Amino acid sequence: MDIGNAVKMLRMKKGISQKDLSSMCGISANALCSIESGNTFPSKNTITKMCEALDIPNSYLLLFSISEEDIPENKRILYKTLCESIKEDLIQNL
End-to-end CA distance of the chain: 21
- CATH number of the domain that 52 lies in? 1.10.260.40
**Inter-residue contact 51 to 60 (CB < 8 Å):** yes
Structural domain harbouring 9 = 3-93
pLDDT tens column, 39-56: 999 999 999 999 999 999
Number of domains into which the chain is organized:
1
Give the model's pLDDT for residue 84.
78
Question: Would you write out the chain's pLDDT as a tens digit for each of its 94 residues?
Answer: 799 999 999 999 999 999 999 999 999 999 999 999 999 999 999 999 999 999 999 999 998 998 888 889 998 888 888 877 888 888 887 7
Distance between CA 11 and CA 21 in Å, rounded? 8
